[in-house]
Amino acid sequence: MHLSMEDETDRRPRNQHYEKDIAYVTKYSKWILRSIGIWPAMLEGVARFLPKFAIGLSNFVLLFAIVPCILHITFEEKDTIARLKLCGLLSFCCTSLMKYWALTLRKPRIMDCIEQVWTDWNQVQLHEDREMMLKYGRVGRNLAFVCIVFMYTGGTIYHSILQYAIGTFVDEHNRTIKPLVYPTYSTLYDVQSSPIYELVYALHCMCGYVMYSITAGACGLAALFATHACGQIDIVMSRLNDLVHGERNKATSNPNARLIEIVEHHLRILRFSATVETVLQEVCFLEFIGSTFMICLLEYYCITDWEQSNTISLTTYMMLLVSLTFNIFILCYIGELLMEKSSSVALSCFMTDWFHLPTKMIHGLILIIAVSNNPAKISAGRIADLSLSTFGGVIKSSLAYLSFLRTTIM
């Protein structure tokens, strides 16, 4: 992918390894998001319709699982405990669908952020700057990988091993009932007849892949953008430390020119961070609300399965609980990292040998400190800032809801 905003002269990379570096830091997020049509791609001919086809297919398989499940819970399921378990499954599906719609709506902004990432990697000049960017890029890549492993492992167990453990059984009408991942409304079609059962099961597995890809992809995207911003902030801080003596960047001998360059770079990071927050605010809000509810339900499922000595079901729900808990933890950790790193610019300004600078330049540093007092952040719908304290609030809220739920059901 090339940046449309640049002319042919600017496209020549200053960092000769920038394509390899970008491929390294975006590998997992790009693969996941491209499979569901969210990652921007410069395709020609018939291939340019592939992202739209992927978006349409993903919406279809999600709705194919959600709508019959709603009808089944409303009109057919009478058992309270079974309804509660199905409500947890349905809430995860609906949350995933809404997150997918939010990502689809924000796709142009996502492309702007990716182009900015490409530009920054292209324009990096010093080896030390590239190493700092790679350090944070490696953090984002590892976070995305761990999230993918947890989500797909839990999802695979739920869609395969748990269904195999349930197995076929004979109902009161002497009919052999084969298990389904998501319940269906019997009035729509006879799901137990072949090949309808095989087709429905395949579509349910596709739905699971899309849901876990949405969750893992959104987390990977947040990790990619936030860690990239942190790497850029580290570059700004290194330039601030070199502002007075200019030993690091000998091409610019004038301290005033170095300050202008620092301010421009800092403002570019702040604009990028603001765009990232706009891109992720709906997704993070849905993740924030959905995780609180889902963690509570999964804790309840684990307790009931423990009491019933249902080992396979307990293991499955434990894996899903760990996956969702770790996912919201990653988002909160990313938000904490971005806030901490962006606020540390003020300390770097103070720690420079500012007393050797002219008065006007000192005033410029004071303005940078003032701007840094309002650090970049990732918010959940501009209601709550994602941080480690927010993660603690999610866990405490889920435990409070669990206590209320057990009191109500018991």
Domain-located, residue 10: no
Task: List the single range of 64-78, 157-171, 186-200, 286-300 with lowest mean pLDDT.
Answer: 157-171
Asked whether residue 87 is assigned to any structural domain, the reply reads yes
What does the longest C-alpha to C-alpha distance in the chain come to? 91
How is residue 48 annotated by DSSP?
G
Q: Give the position of tokens 């003032």.
A: 370
Question: Which domain covers residue 179, as residue numbers?
Answer: 18-409
Q: What is the pLDDT of residues 11-42, one digit of tens each?
A: 444 778 888 999 999 999 999 999 999 998 77
**β-bridge partners, 176:** 170
- In a domain, residue 71? The reply is yes
Is the residue at 160 inside a domain? Answer: yes
pLDDT digits (tens, 9 = 90+) for 208-220: 999 999 999 999 9
Dump the DSSP string for 181-235. SS---TTT--TTSTTHHHHHHHHHHHHHHHHHHHHHHHHHHHHHHHHHHHHHHHH
User: Is 136 inside a domain boundary?
Assistant: yes
pLDDT of residue 8 exceeding 60, the answer is: no
**Does 72 map to a domain?**
yes
Ranking 52-61, 225-234, 259-268 by mean pLDDT, the lowest is 259-268
Q: Is residue 103 part of a domain?
A: yes
Q: Is residue 92 part of a domain?
A: yes
pLDDT of residue 381: 87
- Domains in the chain, number: 1
Please tell me whether the overall predicted TM-score, pTM, comes out greater than 0.85 for this model. yes
